[in-house]
Chain A
């Protein structure tokens, strides 16, 4: 059974960089034709796709966030990571990592709340 777990600081100051890591267990991040995504959800609101990475290192980002987002992968640790720079209060949300295969997202992490505040 594949499991994903987000980790990282729950509080980030405005203008700083948000950094999160997703650890994949129960299977190799490199196996199968999957990609690995970050999705966020502000409190009481809907879901916003941030971007994805393939284990080849190829990435796609949401154009609305592209200038601030970097997603990377470390196959040796079975992890992938998110960096979002120059954060503001509008970036406060629950951040999810998820596995995709072009058929929706079948496995999700439990989510981690990141609050942007001084």
Chain B
């Protein structure tokens, strides 16, 4: 099983500032990594796939980078609607997809 570790568990940032979220894989997942945003009571929403490609309709302030074992999700200028929980997911191990434990992005 590929273990995905996200840091920090909670990130406090002020609106308008930049947020940087990290995800580390226990072994290489190449670029087969996705990021999701989840708000309370809602299903996850795909933000990024292929480590750096924005999904349809995702604002340009969201960007992803990295490959192998180290990945980053950056939100360039936080809007009020961006405060949520973010998950990374690897789909390189086709027979056992795994998610990180999540980073909660809260208002500072």
Contact = CB atoms under 8 A, between A and B. Distances in A.
Interface residues of A, number: 20
Contacts of A60: 94-95
A25 interface: no
Contact of B44 (A62, A100, A103, A108): A108
Nearest to A61: B95
A111 B44 CA distance: 10
Interface of A: 45-49, 60, 62-63, 96, 98, 100, 102-106, 108-111
Contacts of B48: 104
A77 B2 CA distance: 35
Contacts of A45: 101
B87 A47 contact: yes
Contacts of B96: 49, 62-63
Interface of B, helix, strand, loop or mixed by DSSP: loop
Interface residues of B, number: 26
B36 to A, nearest CB: 8
Contact of B43 (A63, A100, A109): A109
Contacts, number: 53
Contacts of A98: 43
B43 A48 contact: no
Interface of A, helix, strand, loop or mixed by DSSP: loop
Nearest to B50: A103
Contacts of B46: 104-106
B87 A111 contact: no
B40 to A, nearest CB: 11
Contacts of B91: 100, 102, 104
Interface in B38-55: 42-46, 48-50, 53, 55
B78 interface: no
A72 to B, nearest CB: 19
B34 A104 contact: yes
A105 B101 contact: no
